[in-house]
C-alpha cells in the first residue's frame, strides 16, 4: 500500500511499515494526565501524533487511534509511590477529584481543537477501565509475575527478567537499576526495590479509591495503558506512541505487563517524540518556562514579546523532525509565522489559476520536470519516518516557482496543466490534510480584526461608564469562543486566538 519506513524505538532502527491487519492500523498514544493544564510541550507531542495519524490515513490506512485520559492513580514517584497528583490538585483547588478531571479534560480538548488536531477514535479513561486493570493484575498473579503484600500488588521484575528482558525498549540494565535503588532496599514492603506497583492499598485519607480483590486501593501508573491498548487494539497491534520521557519506566513497564499477562509485548512499532525546549532549556513547570497554549496566543507569558497564532506554533513544530529536540524562541516563532504565510499564499495563488489559460504542452519543460520531482520528493520525505522538515523544505522550493509565476518570471504557458494541478494538489494535501494547518489570516486579520475592534470599543465605553457587567460579559464570552482580550499598560487592547 505504501512505502513507509518508521524508526522503531524497540529495535532502534528504521523499518518498513507493515501493519498486522492492513489496511487497518491500530495506534495507541499515551494521553494527558488531567490534573492541570497541558503545556505547549505536551501540545508538540500530541500534534506530532496527529500528523502521523493524518499521514497514515492519507496513505490509505484505516486508523483506529486510541489516546487515553489518565484520570486516576498517577503518583508523583516513578516507581508507584508518592502522592496522587489528581488528589493533591483537588485539595489545592478545593474541588472534587472528578471536577479536576472534567475541568482539565475540557481544557485539553479545547487546546487540541485550537491546534486543529483530529480527535482520537477512542478516548478511554483509566477510571472507566478498572475492571480490565484488575483482570490484568489477576492474570499476572496467576502467571507468577506479580505478588500481593499488605493489600498492594507489585510486579516482580527480577522474575520477569528470567524469561523476558526488562530493558528491551529503554536499553536499561537491570543490575544497574537495582544498584541505583540499593539505598531503598529493606525500607520497602516490595521483594525487590526495582519492582513496581500494579495496585496500591489506599490509606483512609485517600479520596480516590476503589474496591479490588486485595481491598480498597488504586491502580499503578503503568497499568491502564496495557489494559486499554489490549482491550481496544488487541494483544498485538501496530503503533504505540508517547513522549521520549515515557520510554522508561512507563513504556518498559507496559511491555513487561503485556508479556507477563499474555506473552506479547503489545505494539510492533514504538514511536517516541522528542522534547520541546525554550531557549535551550527543557520546558517544564519546575523551571518556570512551561508556557501554556493560551499564554502563547495572548502573549501574556513573560518570555514572549507578543501573541502567536496556534498555526504558527504548529508550523514551527513541523519544521523539525518529531524525534529531534526542538528549541522554541521568539526568532523561530516569527520566522515560522512568515514561512507559513509564504506557503499559504502560494496555495491561494494556485487555487486561483484558471487552468483553461494554461496551454497544454506537447513536451514537458525543465520547470515541469522540477515540479513533478519536488512533489514526489514530498511523499518520499514523509515516507521516510514522517520527515515533515524535509517536506516543508520541498514546499518552500515549490513556492519559489509559484512566486516566479506570480511575478511573471515564469509564464503560465511554460507549464503543463498536469504540473499546475499537481502543484495545487500538493499544497492542499500537505498543508491542509496532512499537517492540519490553516492560513493565519483566517483567524488573525482582515474582517475579524474589524469586528473585534467594534467589540473592544463597546467594552471600553462600558468601562468608562463603570458598566463592568457589560465589559466583563464581552471579555468572558469572547474567551469562551477562544478569543482572549489583553489590556495593555498604555490603555490599548490587543486580542489573540
Ligand atoms: P503528561 O500529561 O505529563 O503525561 O504528558 C503528556 C505527553 O506530553 C507525554 O507523552 C509526555 O511525554 C509529553 N511531554 C511532556 N513534556 C514535554 C515536552 N517538554 N516536550 C514534548 N513533549 C512533552
Ligand atoms: Zn501510557
Return the exposure string of 372-400: e unless at least 16 CB atoms fall within 10 Å of the residue's CB, then b. bebbebbbebbbbbbbbeebbbbbeebbe
pLDDT of residue 414: 83
Q: Is residue 4 part of a domain?
A: no
Residue 7 lies in a domain: no
Domain boundary residue, one of 434, 452, 474: 434
Whether 106 maps to a domain, the answer reads: yes
Of 20-29, 49-58, 90-99, 394-403, the least confident: 90-99
Nearest atom in ligand 1 to 243's CA: 12
pLDDT at 75: 64
pLDDT of residue 360: 66
Same domain, 177 and 258: yes
One domain, residues 220 and 266: yes
User: Atom 12 of ligand 1 has which residue's CA nearest to it?
Assistant: 243
Ligand found nearest the CA of 275: 1
Mean pLDDT of 235-245: 97
Interstrand relation of 267-273 and 237-243 (parallel, antiparallel or unpaired) = parallel
Residues, Cβ < 5 Å to ion ligand 2:
30, 225
Confidence of residue 357 (pLDDT cuts 50, 70, 90): low
Quote the pLDDT of residue 285: 67
Instruction: Clarify whether residues 425 and 470 are in a common domain.
Output: no
**53 assigned to some structural domain:** yes
On whether both 18 and 58 belong to a single domain, the answer is yes
- Model confidence pLDDT, tens digit, residues 134-183: 999 999 999 999 999 999 999 999 999 999 999 999 999 998 888 887 66
Q: Are residues 192 and 290 in the same domain?
A: no
- CA-only gyration radius of the chain, Å: 26
Query: Where among 252, 273, 294 does a domain terminate?
Result: 273
Ligand number with the minimum distance to the CA of 124: 2
Global pTM exceeds 0.85: yes
Residue 206 has a pLDDT of 85
Number of folded domains in the chain? 3
Does residue 150 share a domain with residue 57?
yes
| Centre of ligand 1 from the C-alpha of residue 46, in Å | 8
Last residue of a domain, one of 434, 449, 464: 434
Which of the two residues, 336 and 304, has the higher pLDDT score?
A: 336
Length of the chain: 497
- pLDDT (0 to 100) of residue 279: 77
- Regarding whether 267 and 177 lie in a shared domain, the answer is yes
Do 414 and 462 lie in a common domain? no
pLDDT reading at 53 higher than 60: yes
List the CATH number of the domain containing 312: 1.10.730.10
CB atoms within 10 A of CB 180: 12
CA dihedral for 386, 10, 147, 182, sign (positive or negative): negative
DSSP 127: G
Closest CA to 341 of 224, 245, 437: 437
Q: What is the pLDDT of residues 421-468, one digit of tens each?
A: 999 999 999 999 999 999 985 545 556 666 777 788 888 888 888 888
What's the whole-number average pLDDT of the chain?
90
Q: Assess if residue 32 is contained within a domain.
A: yes
Q: Is the peptide bond before 197 cis (omega within 30 degrees of 0)?
A: no
> Does residue 60 fall inside a structural domain?
yes
Whether 184 and 40 share a structural domain: yes
CA pair distance 24, 63, nearest whole angstrom: 6
CA of 242 to the centre of ligand 1 (A): 8
Cβ < 6 Å from ligand 1: which residues? 30, 32-33, 41-42, 44-45, 242-243, 245-246, 275-276, 282-283
Alpha-carbon distance values, 392 to 59, 250, 318, 428, 431 (Å): 18, 33, 8, 13, 9
Question: Does residue 34 sit within a domain?
Answer: yes
Distance CA 39, CA 292 (A): 4
Q: Are residues 398 and 481 in the same domain?
A: no
Give yes or no: residues 213 and 84 share one domain. yes
- Domain of residue 58: give its range: 14-273
Nearest to 75 by CA among 132, 33, 127: 33
pLDDT attached to residue 464: 84
Confidence (pLDDT) at 125: 97
pLDDT at 207: 85
Residues 73-122: tens digit of each pLDDT: 666 565 555 677 778 888 888 888 899 999 999 999 999 999 999 999 99
Q: Over the stretch 329-339, which tens digit does the pLDDT of each residue have?
A: 999 999 999 99
In terms of Cα–Cα distance, which of 477, 403, 392, 394 is closest to 431?
392
> Rounded distance, CA 137 to CA 154, Å?
9
CA gap 312, 335 in Å, rounded: 9
Q: Scanning the structure block, which residue is given the C-alpha cell 480527535?
A: 119
Does one domain contain both 448 and 428?
Answer: no
How confident is the model at residue 181, as a pLDDT? 79
Amino acid at each position: 500500500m505504501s512505502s513507509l519506513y518508521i524508526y522503531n524505538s524497540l529495535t532502534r532502527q528504521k523499518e518498513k511499515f507493515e501493519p498486522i491487519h492492513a489496511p487497518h492500523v491500530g495506534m495507541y498514544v499515551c494521553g494527558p494526565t488531567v490534573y492541570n493544564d497541558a503545556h505547549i510541550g505536551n501540545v508538540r507531542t500530541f500534534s506530532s501524533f496527529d500528523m502521523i495519524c493524518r499521514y497514515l490515513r492519507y496513505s490509505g490506512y484505516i486508523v483506529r487511534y486510541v489516546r487515553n485520559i489518565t484520570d486516576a492513580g498517577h503518583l508523583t514517584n516513578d516507581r508507584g509511590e508518592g502522592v496522587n497528583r489528581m488528589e493533591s490538585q483537588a485539595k489545592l483547588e478545593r474541588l472534587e477529584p472528578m471536577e479536576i478531571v472534567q475541568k482539565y479534560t475540557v481544557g485539553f480538548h479545547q487546546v487540541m481543537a485550537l491546534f486543529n488536531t483530529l480527535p482520537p477514535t477512542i478516548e478511554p479513561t483509566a477510571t472507566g477501565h478498572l475492571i480490565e486493570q484488575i483482570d490484568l493484575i489477576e492474570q499476572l498473579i496467576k502467571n507468577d509475575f506479580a505478588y500481593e503484600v499488605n493489600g498492594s500488588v507489585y510486579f516482580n521484575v527480577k522474575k520477569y527478567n528470567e524469561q523476558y528482558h526488562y530493558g528491551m525498549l529503554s536499553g536499561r540494565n537491570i543490575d544497574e537499576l537495582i544498584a541505583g535503588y540499593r539505598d531503598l532496599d529493606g525500607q520497602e514492603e516490595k521483594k525487590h526495590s526495582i519492582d513496581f506497583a500494579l495496585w496500591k492499598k489506599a490509606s483512609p485519607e485517600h479520596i480516590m479509591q476503589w474496591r479490588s480483590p486485595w481491598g480498597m486501593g488504586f491502580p499503578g501508573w503503568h497499568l491502564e495503558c496495557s489494559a486499554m491498548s489490549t482491550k481496544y487494539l488487541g494483544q498485538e497491534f501496530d503503533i504505540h506512541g508517547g513522549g521520549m520521557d515515557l520510554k522508561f519506566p512507563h513504556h518498559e513497564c507496559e511491555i513487561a505487563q503485556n508479556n507477563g499477562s499474555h506473552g506479547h509485548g503489545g505494539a510492533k512499532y514504538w514511536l517516541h517524540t522528542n522534547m520541546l525546549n525554550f531557549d535551550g532549556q527543557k520546558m517544564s513547570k519546575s523551571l518556570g518556562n512551561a508556557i501554556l497554549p493560551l499564554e502563547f496566543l495572548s502573549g501574556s507569558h513573560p518570555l514572549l514579546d507578543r501573541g502567536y497564532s496556534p498555526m504558527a506554533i504548529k508550523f514551527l513544530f513541523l519544521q523539525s523532525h518529531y524525534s529531534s529536540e526542538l528549541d522554541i524562541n521568539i526568532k523561530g516563532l516569527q520566522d515560522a509565522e512568515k514561512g507559513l504565510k509564504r506557503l499559504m499564499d502560494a496555495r491561494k495563488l494556485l487555487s486561483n489559476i484558471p487552468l483553461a489559460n494554461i496551454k497544454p504542452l506537447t513536451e514537458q519543460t525543465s520547470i515541469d520536470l522540477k515540479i513533478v520531482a519536488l512533489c514526489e520528493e514530498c511523499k518520499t520525505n514523509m515516507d521516510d519516518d514522517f520527515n515533515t522538515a524535509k517536506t516543508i523544505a520541498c514546499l518552500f522550493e515549490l513556492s519559489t516557482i509559484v512566486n516566479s509565476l506570480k511575478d511573471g518570471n515564469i509564464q503560465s504557458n511554460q507549464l503543463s496543466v498536469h504540473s499546475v494541478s499537481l502543484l495545487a494538489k500538493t499544497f492542499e494535501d500537505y498543508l491542509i490534510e496532512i499537517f492540519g494547518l490553516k492560513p493565519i489570516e483566517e483567524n488573525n486579520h482582515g474582517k475579524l480584526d474589524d469586528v473585534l475592534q467594534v467589540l473592544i470599543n463597546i467594552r471600553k465605553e462600558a468601562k468608562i461608564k463603570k458598566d463592568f457587567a457589560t465589559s466583563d460579559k464581552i471579555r468572558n464570552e469572547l474567551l469562551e469562543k477562544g478569543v482572549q482580550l489583553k489590556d495593555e499598560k498604555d490603555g490599548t487592547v490587543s486580542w489573540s486566538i
